[in-house]
Amino acid sequence: MSNSIDTRSINAIRILSADAIQKANSGHPGLPLGSAPAAYTLWAKVMNHNPKDPNWANRDRFILSGGHGSMLLYSLLHLFGYGLTKEDLANFRQLGSLTPGHPEYRHTVGVEATTGPLGAGMAMAVGMAMAEKHLASVFNTENYPVVDHYTYVLGGDGCMMEGISYEAFSLAGTLGLSKLIVLYDSNDISIEGGTNIAFRESVQKRFEAFGFQTLRVEDGNDPDAILAAIEEAKADTTRPSMIEIKTKIGAGCPAKEGKASAHGEPLGVENVAALRENLGWEDSTPFAVPQDIYDNYAAIAAENAKAEDAWNELFAAWRSANPDLAKLWDEYHDENYAEKLYDDEAFWHICDAPEATRNVSGKLINYMKDKIPNFFGGAADLAPSTKTYMKDMGDFSKETPEGSNLHFGVRELAMAAIGNGIWLHGGLRPFVSTFFVFSDYVKPMARLSALMQAPLTYVLTHDSIGVGEDGPTHEPIEQLAMLRALPNFYAFRPADAMETAAAWYFAETSKTKPTALVLSRQNLPQLAGSSKEALKGAYILEDSTKETPDAIIIATGSEVQLAVEAREKLLTDGIDVRVVSMPCMDLFADQSADYQEKVLPAAVTKRVSVEALSTFGWERYVGLSGKKIGMTGFGASAPGGKLFEHFGITTDAVIAAVKEQF
- Provide φ and ψ at 13, rounded to 5°: -60, -45
Quote the CA–CA distance of 605 and 595 in Å, as a whole number: 17
Contact 43, 62 (CB under 8 A): yes
Nearest to 134 by CA among 319, 298, 376: 376
**What Cα–Cα distance (Å) separates residue 569 from each residue in 345, 581, 610, 641, 656?**
33, 18, 16, 21, 11
Quote the CA–CA distance of 432 and 442 in Å, as a whole number: 10
What's 585-602 look like in SS3? Answer: HHHHHCCCHHHHHHHCCC
Nearest to 451 by CA among 428, 478, 417, 480: 417
Quote the CA–CA distance of 375 and 508 in Å, as a whole number: 9
Contact 640, 465 (CB under 8 A): yes
| 250 phi-psi bin (left φ>0, alpha ψ -120 to 50, beta other) | left
Quote the CA–CA distance of 357 and 377 in Å, as a whole number: 18
Q: Which residues are catalytic?
A: 412
Contact 465, 631 (CB under 8 A): yes
Q: How many CB atoms lie within 10 A of CB 198?
A: 11
Quote the CA–CA distance of 530 and 561 in Å, as a whole number: 11
Crossing angle between the packed helical segments 120-139 and 323-332, to the nearest 10 degrees: 150
| C-alpha torsion 353→356→359→360, nearest 10 | 60
Burial class (CB in 10 A: 0-12, 13-18, 19+), 62: buried
End-to-end CA distance of the chain: 84
| C-alpha torsion 5→10→15→17, nearest 10 | 150
Quote the CA–CA distance of 556 and 140 in Å, as a whole number: 46
Contact 185, 122 (CB under 8 A): no
**421-458 in b/e burial notation, b at 16+ Cβ within 10 A?**
bbbbbbbbbbbbbbbbbbbebbbebbbbbbbbebbbbb
Quote the CA–CA distance of 166 and 293 in Å, as a whole number: 39
**612-632 in b/e burial notation, b at 16+ Cβ within 10 A?**
bbbbbbbeebbeeebbbbbbe
